[in-house]
A and B are shown apart, each in its own frame.
Chain A
Amino acid sequence: MIGSDTIRRAAIPPGSPSGGGEAAARATVTVGMTVALAAIAMTFAALLLAYGIVRVQAPTWPPPGELPLPPLWTLRLLATVLAVAGSAAMHVAARAGRTGTAATASAPLALGAAMLTGVAFLAVQVASLRALGAAGVHPDSGLAASVVYALTAFHGLHALVAVMLSLALLMARRPARPGRLLAVVAFWHLVTAVWLIVFGAVFVA
Chain B
Amino acid sequence: MDACTVSEEHQRPTDPAHPAPEPPASFWRQVVFSTDHKVIGRQFLWLGLVFLAVAGTLAMLIRWQLAHPGAPVPLVGGLLFPASGGVVSPAAYTALFTMHGTIMIFFALTPILIGGFGNFCLPLLIGARDMAFPVLNMLSFWTMFAATAILTASFFTPLGPPAAGWTSYPTLSTAVGAPGVAQTLWVLAIYLNGASSVMGAVNYITTVIRFRAPGMTFFRMPLTVWGLWLASILNALFVPVLAAGAVLLFFDRVFGTRFFIAGSAIKPGGDPVLYQHLFWIFGHPEVYILILPAWGIAGDLLSFFSRKPAYGYKVTVGALIAIVVLSGVVYGHHMFVTGMSPLLGEGFMVLTMLISVPSVILGVGWLGTVWRGSIRLTTPMLFALGLVTVFGLGGFTGLFLADVLADVYLHDTFFVVGHFHLTMSAAVLLGAFAAIYFWFPKMFGRMMNEPLGKLHFALTLVTVIVTFGLQLVLGYAGMQRRLVDPSAYAFLRPLMPLNRVVSQAAFVMGAAQVLFVVNFFYSLRWGPRAPANPWQVGTLEWTVSSPPPHHNFAEIPRVFVGPHELGNPAVKAARGVDFQPQDQEPPA
Contacts and interface: CB of A to CB of B under 8 A. Distances in A.
Contact of A13 (B15, B134, B203, B251): B15
Given A13-B9, A27-B210, A7 B134 contact: yes
Interface string A7-30: 111111111111001001001100
A146 B8 contact: no
A46 B328 CA distance: 13
A172 interface: no
Contact of A15 (B12, B238, B257): B12
B18 A14 contact: yes
Nearest to B259: A146
Interface stretch (A61-69, A107-115, A118-126): A61-69
B256 A50 contact: no
Interface string A88-127: 0000000000000000000000000000000000000000
Given A46-B244, A65-B268, A140 B257 contact: yes
Nearest to A57: B271
A201 B130 CA distance: 43
Interface stretch (A31-39, A72-80, A162-170, A185-193): A31-39
A146 B202 contact: no
B274 A16 contact: no
B277 interface: yes
A13 B8 contact: no
Given A3-B134, A46-B281, A139-B255, A18 B9 contact: yes
Nearest to B211: A11
B33 interface: yes
B257 A39 contact: no
Nearest to A140: B256
Interface string A39-77: 110111011011001100100000111100000000000
Contact of B35 (A2, A11, A16, A42): A2
A32 B278 contact: no
A35 B206 CA distance: 8
Interface string B244-277: 1101100110011111000100011111001001
B342 interface: no
Interface in A142-168: 142-143, 145-146, 149-150, 153-154
A203 to B, nearest CB: 17
Given A4-B135, A65-B268, A15 B15 contact: yes
A11 B13 CA distance: 10
Contacts of B138: 2
A143 B198 contact: no
Given A2-B35, A7-B134, A139-B255, A53 B274 contact: yes
Q: Interface size bucket, A side?
A: 35 or more
B15 to A, nearest CB: 5
A170 B247 CA distance: 31
Nearest to A43: B240
Given A7-B21, A7-B134, A32-B133, A143 B8 contact: no
Contacts of B556: 13
A134 interface: no
B24 A14 contact: no
B129 A54 contact: no
Contact of A39 (B128, B209, B210, B240): B240
A150 B21 contact: no
Contacts of A16: 8-12
A7 B247 contact: no
Interface in B110-129: 128-129
B87 interface: no
A3 B24 contact: yes
- How big is chain B's contact interface, by range? 35 or more
B5 interface: yes
B205 interface: yes
Nearest to B23: A3
A135 interface: no
B205 A35 contact: yes
Contact of A31 (B209, B256, B267, B281): B209
Contact of A154 (B5, B135, B247, B551): B247
Nearest to B138: A2
A66 B257 CA distance: 13
A18 B11 CA distance: 10
A17 B4 CA distance: 12
Contacts of A177: none
B237 interface: yes
A171 interface: no
B240 A21 contact: no
Interface string B209-238: 111000000000000000000000000111
A134 to B, nearest CB: 17
A1 interface: yes
A35 B171 CA distance: 34
B129 A7 contact: yes
A18 B257 contact: no
A35 B209 CA distance: 11
A4 B240 contact: no
Nearest to B555: A13
Contacts of A153: 251
Contact of A32 (B203, B240, B259, B270): B203
Contacts of B256: 138-140
A38 B251 contact: no
B202 A35 contact: yes
A43 B241 contact: yes
A96 B270 CA distance: 48
B561 interface: no
Given A28-B206, A143-B269, A146-B257, A3 B135 contact: yes
Contacts of A145: 257
Contacts of A39: 198, 201-202, 236-237, 239-240
A140 B256 CA distance: 5
Contacts of A47: 244, 247-248
Contacts of B11: 16-17
Contacts of B551: 10
B260 to A, nearest CB: 10
Contact of B259 (A2, A40, A63, A150): A150
Contacts of B247: 43, 47, 150, 154
Interface of B: 5, 8-15, 18, 20-21, 24, 29, 33-36, 128-130, 132-136, 138, 198, 201-203, 205-206, 209-211, 236-241, 243-245, 247-248, 251-252, 255-259, 263, 267-271, 274, 277-278, 281, 551, 556
12 contacts: A4-B133, A9-B21, A10-B20, A12-B9, A15-B15, A31-B205, A39-B239, A42-B236, A63-B268, A143-B269, A146-B258, A149-B257
Given A17-B11, A40-B240, A145-B257, 20 more contacts: A1-B135, A3-B29, A3-B35, A7-B130, A8-B134, A10-B20, A14-B18, A28-B132, A31-B205, A32-B132, A32-B202, A32-B203, A39-B202, A42-B237, A43-B241, A47-B247, A53-B271, A65-B267, A65-B268, A153-B251
Interface of A: 1-4, 6-18, 21, 24, 27-28, 31-32, 35-36, 38-40, 42-44, 46-47, 49-50, 53-54, 57, 63-66, 138-140, 142-143, 145-146, 149-150, 153-154
